Structure 1
């Protein structure tokens, strides 16, 4: 699957590729924070606002691969790296993009995206962590703001103009690419000269971070070397990641030398990595039937491969063949009773088969075994809702302690639980939260206004909705009007 509309993302990586180095002092002096020079161009709040608006366009175009298990997996790697970073990171959001090209990118405000193709191309978790460590370094060093500062031309107004053009031309890839060119051509020659030096800076910081986090520091160099070799061997054109992250023989050699200077790390193969690659393969396929054929062929060559069995079961479930998928999932669940993704698939297949009690019991056990797993909590809540236990579902969703923040789907399920319990004001509020965080402020405002029109609102409910309305309205242009009120 290839989404041509996403071609502008490759250009967006230039924001994070042309960077200025930041060194960490060996002695920390406790002085009041008075900001950085980069703040004069893009403050952290402005960066977050820009990133949120771009994310809204990605969600609106259905480019984000909204799968709780994959999102949780890449987020867990990301925060493991962030915890080992020498520079305290800002608020981070990791997400996958529905694109089979190999690429990764950092947007303003700590949003870090990975194409599905990158996860499929990686051979092990350390290679994924290597790319992620590189992108994380772009974020922790505030490369986007520093690029704007160093060019001495790009300002917040320029980036907002670029973003406005992206929004206006979101259905036309040519308009989007042209809009991003506004930012790219600002002092272009100077930016190009920065690219090599600052990509190496991100390599150096990323390798140090991933080694400290317990990953094999050779993962970064091995991944980029493999991609470079594939490009030469198959002559299929330069992979997207090489266009947005320029490589050279020296750069790969330097990354390898940095990794070799660190203590070696030997990791056991990760079953979760293999399962998530299989899951990605299914979700990235144009049709579930293609994924079924793919995994059936893989299993003919390697019948005992658990990841391929999982992939086939998941692909079958996407085709609506839950009975056949359930046979595979039950066999895997017996073999791996403590593997969260396999148990989640089993519970969801019970639900698809109408075996609601078994689904609830399986997912309840999974939540107890993995209390910090957001995907387990979401799956259990959905099972409770399907069995008419909306109050229990709401309590579960509100009482959770997500390790990496609150997943967006939580708000959608909270809205459903409130609606089924008859609390329409709460349902409007939670659905507005869901839509607003996805970047659709207009629909969020419509949900809030519908809530405010409900009879018998108490003062607390009204105040809560009005406060959210002010927050949402601030995101919209002053002249914005609903579709039904436009000429």
Structure 2
């Protein structure tokens, strides 16, 4: 998504934020990309959409975010966020649908729940959280919106026309979000919605999400005070921008009473001392680098932090990662070296060391690090993907492909897996397999047109085996059947 399109989407969709189940406030919430708020406005109840249909709708909206390159496709960050989500889901008193958590490439604070178990976390939310319990508080709050089906319950109590309007808007965004004119036209349909009624339901749901979210995060082993302390940060930001906050966002119920209620609920629970893992600080550093608007912004930030004497794990790792992203490999290796020696079993630090070794032409040493990590953490998907990519760089695409296919825990959980499988198959000369895997990758990214083009190219290959043809045809049928009615096939 280019800057102009993103800006147009933000301006056009801002009115939709009024009923969004978003935790953020202040300027961060006011300017948060409203396309992310959109799906929170119309999750119908079972008499309008079944849970399966809700899941399909959430998947379509999420795929649109992938297609517009608005998500952070970093295996380590994705794995970390999902691990917290799974921990919370396992502790929830109400079983959620299959949970999918993704990171949005936005340095501002926001989090949102989509129909069917999808949850988005802005990179800026990690940067604002001082500890893992605050991050878990945000996610626990959003998980409660999912388990309690707040959007569905709101839709049940509003006019059917309102539900249909918002579904039409969502469909329009999915069909033509690259064209701001399409978005604006769709929004014009929704101007008659009773905003105040929607807000009143949101207030009640926010209170319920706070209560259930605090219980869930405590059951998962996080400090339940994390939610209230994060509220404090949001209120501070709200005060900072004062009258600059649009009236539409002043209705979002972040109040002193709400903060006090969250603190009181946390005080009723047994005290929990949650020790933040190193991974939390490392992931904050990755989030800062990956969400920076300018290439050198994060590099300057971490360099200044170290120069000021704040030589923490987060700042040192962050500088090394920023240097790596700027192709300053030797400098990054020197920056990271103290952490590599001090934390020989910390997966993220060791993975960055291996990546730097590989970039520096020391592939044999890099492979040793990858293999040692996989012995320590055989089910860690980011290490699997890094190892497979290293095999391909070593001229062993068949070995990389077989490795990925034989490790089911990575298959289907990382978009990068399908992309690597397609690359490995292509480098091995198996073009039919490459077309199949790339078609799957593009389908999951929300680009069905390109997925069909890849599959059609595979079907045109000469001397295609009957098995490969049947597999490609089946995948093509799957992609075609999943297309919205309004989609015009190329």
* Structure-1-length-normalised TM-score: 0.88
Pairs within 5 Å for 1:413-428: 413-428=420-435
CA RMSD after TM alignment: 2.8
Q: Which residue of 1 aligns with 2:39?
A: none
Unpaired segments ≥5 residues, structure 2: 24-43
CA drift at 1:452: 1.1
Pairs within 5 Å for 1:309-458: 309-402=316-409, 406-458=413-465
Q: C-alpha separation between the residues in 2 aligned to 1:180 and 1:400? A: 45
Q: Which residue of 2 aligns with 1:14?
A: 19
CA drift at 1:346: 0.6
Q: Which residue of 2 aligns with 1:93?
A: 100
CA drift at 1:278: 1.0
Cα deviation 1:153-190 (Å, max 9, x = unaligned): 25775444112321355235576477457568534332
Q: Which residue of 2 aligns with 1:465?
A: 472
Unpaired segments ≥5 residues, structure 1: 19-36
Task: Count residues in correspondence.
Answer: 466
Q: 1:268 aligns with which of 268, 275, 280?
A: 275
CA drift at 1:270: 2.5
Q: C-alpha separation between the residues in 1 aligned to 2:92 and 2:188? A: 32
Q: C-alpha separation between the residues in 2 aligned to 1:342 and 1:421? A: 31
Q: What's the secondary structure of 2:160's corresponding residue?
A: coil
**In structure 2, do the counterparts of structure 1 residues 17 and 314 end up closer, same or farther at CA, with 3 Å as the change threshold?**
closer
Contact between 2:21 and 2:206, CA under 8 Å: does it hold in 1? Answer: no
Q: What's the secondary structure of 2:140's corresponding residue?
A: helix
Pairs within 5 Å for 1:79-478: 79-154=86-161, 157-171=164-178, 176=183, 179=186, 185-233=192-240, 235=242, 237-238=244-245, 245-402=252-409, 406-477=413-484
Cα deviation 1:241-270 (Å, max 9, x = unaligned): 976852111111111111100001112233
CA drift at 1:272: 1.0
Q: C-alpha separation between the residues in 2 aligned to 1:61 and 1:375? A: 23
CA drift at 1:229: 1.9
Q: What's the secondary structure of 1:89's corresponding residue?
A: coil
Contact between 1:15 and 1:107, CA under 8 Å: does it hold in 2? Answer: no
CA drift at 1:193: 1.4
**In structure 2, do the counterparts of structure 1 residues 463 and 160 end up closer, same or farther at CA, with 3 Å as the change threshold?**
farther
Q: Which residue of 2 aligns with 1:21?
A: none
Cα deviation 1:353-397 (Å, max 9, x = unaligned): 122212222112112211121111111111111111112211221
* Structure-2-length-normalised TM-score: 0.88
Q: C-alpha separation between the residues in 1 aligned to 2:248 and 2:461? A: 51
